[in-house]
Each structure stands twice: as C-alpha cells, then as structure tokens.
Amino acid sequence: MRSEMARFVVRRLLSMLLVLFAVSVIVFLIFNVIPNGDPAVRMAGKIPTETQIEAIREEWGFDEPLYVQYATMMKNLFTGETVSYSTQQSVTEEIWRGLPRTLSLAVGAALIWMAFAIALGLYSALRAGRFSDRLLAVLALVGISMPVFWLGALMSYYLGSKAGIFPEGGYVEFTANPLDWFWHLVMPWTALSVLFIGFYSRVLRSDIIETMGEDYVRTARAKGLSERQVLTKHVLRNSLIPIITLWGLDFGAVIGGAAILTETVFGLQGVGEYAAEAVSGFDLPPIMAVTMFGAFFIVAFNTLVDIAYAALDPRIRLEGEAAK
C-alpha cells in the first residue's frame, strides 16, 4: 500500500501544479482581454494625462510584453509581494487577514451541515414513505431552492436589525471574545448550511435506502445482529462513504470561495468578500491571488477525498494497481 500511495500522491501533486498553472494563465489572459481593464488608466486618477499614464505604465511594468508581466506576477505571488493595483496594499496581507474569518465560516458550517444532514437523512430513510419523510423532502427542497444571499439578507434583517437577537453582521475575533465570535457566526453558518443540509440529507437518504436493500445487510440480520448493530456497523458505514467524499469536495470549494455570497451579505470580510471586491474593481493581483488560493484548496481537497475514499472502501485501489 505504501508505494502505491506514494505513486498516487506524486502524480496528484504534478497534476495539481498543472492545474494551477493553467488556471493562472487563463485568469491572466482573460484579464488582459477584458476592455476597460487598463489599470494604468484607473490608477492615474480622475483626469489622467497621457504622461501620467505612461509613467505609471513604466513604473508598474505594464509596457512589458505579456509573458514578462505574467512571470513577474507569478514571482510576486510566490514571494508574497503581490500588491493591489487600486489600493496599493499588500494582497498577501489582506488574504492573511481574511483567512481566519473564511475558515471559521467554512469549518463551522461544514460540521453543522454534516451533523444535521446525517441526522435528517437517517431519520427520513428509516421512515421512508411516511408523512415525516415527505415533509422533510419538501423542507429539503425549500432549503436547496433558497438563494443563500436572499436567506442571509432576510435573516440579517429580521433576526438581526429588527429583532436584535443576533448582530446584523460583522465578525469578532475568536481570541478577543469567543462567545461573541460564536454569536456573530450563527446566522452565517445557518444561511450557508441550509442549502447543503437539504442536498446532503436527500442524497444520504437514498444511499441508506439503497444500502438497506443490499445482500450483506440481509446477511447481517441473518447472523442475528441487533437492528442497531446492523444499522450502524453495516448500513451507515457503507452509505456514508459517498457522502464523506462529497463533503470533502464541497468543503474545499467553500474555503476556496464558494462562501463569497454569505461573507458579503454578513460583512465578514473574509477571503471570499475580498475576492468579490477585487472582481468588481477589476483589480488583477488580488483576483489572481484569490483564484490561485481557491484553486489550490479545491485541488488539494480533491486529492484528500480520493485518498480518503481508498482508505474507507478497500475495494478501491489507487491508480496503478493491477486489473484482475
């Protein structure tokens, strides 16, 4: 298993580098093709003169050929010297500042949605066809259908400003005040989780129902195991495998930026919100940095999920194993 795993990881690392390279090139090219994106013009202020624009161009290297600009940008990215065109601030610092906020949101939401999804999925599966199952199906559908920004805005308004139960938005450092930190995150966590709970609980429900019809579950009963043992050791153990792998992928995507809407609505000023600002400001360095950041997490989690799958299901062999 060792050498197989090593082989697998090496191949994945290489493909990750390839993906990141491709992403960076594409982002860079797109940015340079969009009209009105001339940063020199924007940097020059309200009433730019030609000389000013020229000077900025030279200073910032916008007159260099594209591939040189690209190389410089990549170098800056890795050394952490990337600077925003519009705000002149260090992109790296901004991302570093936003990271704990995004992680708080992502990790909290991921744990919450998983816990609820398992509970509700299992409940629906065991009561399949009955009223409670159908009710949960409708609720899940509602949850999946509600756009997160709409739900977030509603919650922020009704539970936040009007009722005053939760703060409208904003973020409090965990180190400053853990309770406040938690309280500020309850609504964002809920808004982000609702969609996933709806989706995951349905997927898990059908997985469980399918697994319960499997022959080995029948064997487990025939062995005289208690219903509880059959459920936990055989049914759940098998039906959770696809869910856990899905969860890994979604988690990677959330960290990588899928939480943009939630962060923006609640003003958490995490990496996602930073990305939104950068995009609306047509600011290439932060966009590039955030995109690479996102791509890295997504690819990394993809790889972790594949490894986890192989660990959870002994039938899965990582690439390179003999086909018998």
Is 315 among the residues that bind other proteins (CB under 8 A)?
A: yes
Regarding 210 and contact with other proteins (CB under 8 A), the answer is: no
Task: Report if residue 127 touches other proteins, rule: CB under 8 A.
Answer: no
Please report whether residue 16 would count as binding other proteins according to CB under 8 A: no
Tokens representing 229 are 């043992």
232 binds other proteins (CB under 8 A): no
- DSSP result, 247-311: HHHHHHHIIIIITHHHHHHHT---HHHHHHHHHHTT-HHHHHHHHHHHHHHHHHHHHHHHHHHHH
Phi-psi region of 282 (alpha: psi -120 to 50; beta: other; left: phi over 0): left
Q: Does 236 bind other proteins (CB under 8 A)?
A: no
**d(C-alpha 248, C-alpha 8), whole Å:** 18
150 vs 216 by CB, closer to other proteins = 216
Residue 195 and residue 144: Cα distance in Å, rounded? Answer: 4
Determine which residue in the list 7, 32, 116, 172 makes contact with other proteins, applying CB under 8 A.
7
Determine if 222 is a binding residue for other proteins (CB under 8 A). Answer: yes
| Residue (279 or 312) nearer to other proteins, CB | 312
- Of these, 229, 296, 304, 308, which contacts other proteins (CB under 8 A)? 229
Among 219, 260, 293, 301, binds other proteins (CB under 8 A): 219
Closer by beta carbon to other proteins, 4 or else 54: 4
Inter-helix orientation angle 91-126/271-280, to 10°: 120
d(CA 214, CA 281): 54
Contact 195, 209 (CB under 8 A): no
- Residues of span 285-314 touching other proteins by CB under 8 A: 312-314
State yes or no: residue 320 binds other proteins (CB under 8 A): yes
In the complex, which residues of this chain contact other proteins (CB under 8 A)? 6-7, 10-11, 14, 214-216, 218-226, 229, 233-234, 237-238, 241, 312-315, 320-324
